[in-house]
Amino acid sequence: MVQNQTFVIYVKDSANNIHIWDLNESDIFPIYSVPFQKNITCLKLCPSVEGSENSNAFLVLATDDGSLYMHHLNTDHGQQPKSTYEEHVKTFLNYVSRL
């Protein structure tokens, strides 16, 4: 099973900006905020596939005019070693248990 990034969250706000949150870095501010000119109607993260030549993930965006945009994410947002994944899950569960 592929272990993708546990703490990376992709969000579209009402102003049509895409925010990328990495909870390992900060739970207060996103690591990236990207304005998008066309109105995004759908956002889908396609994680990397185990055994494929390409270990990167993709972010697919659909706009209200019917256009599709596929963004190739860098390796920071793709697969990670199982030990790192398990460590991140443990940290996440500890984090949410305090909420």
| Confidence (pLDDT) at 17 | 95
Cα 56 to Cα 54: distance, rounded to the nearest angstrom? 6
Q: How many C-beta neighbours within 10 Å does residue 71 have?
A: 11
Is 90 exceeded by the pLDDT of residue 39? yes
Q: 51 φ, ψ to 5°? A: 85, -5
pLDDT more than 70, % of the chain: 79
Is 60 exceeded by the pLDDT of residue 23? yes
Q: How many C-beta neighbours within 10 Å does residue 58 have?
A: 16
Q: Are strands 40-46 and 17-22 parallel, antiparallel or unpaired?
A: unpaired
Is 50 exceeded by the pLDDT of residue 1? no
Short-list 67, 64, 61, 19, CA closest to 39: 64
Q: Per residue in 53-78, pLDDT tens?
A: 666 778 899 999 999 999 888 766 66
- 17 compared with 56, residue with greater pLDDT: 17
